[in-house]
Amino acid sequence: MNIKGNNTILITGGGSGIGRGLAEAFHKLGNTVIIAGRRKATLNAVTAANPGIFSEVVDVQKTGKLKAFATKIAAKYPKLNVLINMAGIAKAEKLNEAPDYDAIDSTIATNLTAPLHLTAAMLPLLKRQPEATIMTVSSGLAFTPLVLTPTYCATKAAMHSWSLSLRYQLKDTAVRVLELVPPYVQTELMGKRQANDPKAMPLADFIAEVMNILATQPEANEILVKKVYPLRFAGDFNAKKFESFFEQFNATMAGVFRRIT
C-alpha cells in the first residue's frame, strides 16, 4: 500500500479512537480521507479540526442499508481505492450469570456482519481501481481471548479467518487485503478510563508504529505493532505455552478492568 497522497480512503468508525488517528495520519500525507460513523457531531468535530477530511453518516449496525451506502459512496467518490473497516464495539459480558442478548447481537452486527456486508458491496468499485486495499481490523484478542469480552473476541477471531479467505480469493486481482491487529490501546472502546490506562499503548504511539509498518514493510499482510506480539504469538509454539499465557493474561487484565469499568 502506497500511503502517500494517491489514495481515496473510506474509514468506518473514523470519528474517534484508532479510526480517527488513522484518518488524520493518512490525511497529513495528502490522501483524500472520508470518515464514516453514526454520530454526526463526532464526525463534524474531526472535520473541523482537520479541514479537507470528508464525512458520511452511516450506522453500520443497520446492515440492510450498507449496500445503498456503498452505492452512494461509489458515485460520490469514484476514485475510492482503500476501505478500512474500523468501526467496532466491545462490551463486558457475564455469560454464566445473565447473558446480555442485545450485547451479543450488537457486537456481532458491528464487528463482523457490517464489515462483511460493506466489503462485499464496495468490492466492485475497488476492483476497478489500478491498485486497491481492504484493511480489516481484528485484534490481539482474536488469538488470545480476554474472557471478560467473549463475543468481542469471537468476532475478531472470525475477522482474522475471513481476512485469510478474502486475501486468497482476491490474490489474482489488484486488491490487497491487510489485517490490522491492535493490542490494548488508549481509546474509549471500553470506557473513558481506558483512554488513560497506563497498561494500554498510547494511541499516538500505536498510530505512528502502524504508519511506519505500512511505509516500510510492503510485504506484511498482518499489521502487527510490537505490543501485540505476546497476544498474537502466544500459541505458536505449543499448547502448554498458550494455556500458561492465557491464564496469566486474563488474571492480569481482570485487575485492570476492575479499575476501569
Whether 168 sits among the annotated catalytic residues: the reply is no
What's the pTM value of the predicted model, to 2 decimals?
0.90
Residue 16 falls in which region: left (phi positive, over 0), alpha (psi -120 to 50) or beta: beta
**Best CA proximity match to 144, nearest among 154, 136, 135:** 154
Instruction: Count CB neighbours of 173 within 10 A.
Output: 12
From the list 101, 152, 168, 184, the catalytic residue is: 152
Tell me the pLDDT tens digit for each residue of 90-145. Answer: 999 999 998 899 999 999 999 999 999 999 999 999 999 999 999 999 999 999 99
* Predicted local distance difference test score (pLDDT) of residue 239: 63
Tell me the pLDDT tens digit for each residue of 168-190. Answer: 999 999 999 999 999 999 999 99
Share of the chain above pLDDT 90, in %: 87
Please determine, for residue 260, whether its predicted confidence score (pLDDT) is greater than 80.
no
- CATH 3.10.20.880 describes domain 8-233: no
Domain boundaries, the chain: 8-233
Share of the chain above pLDDT 70, in %: 97
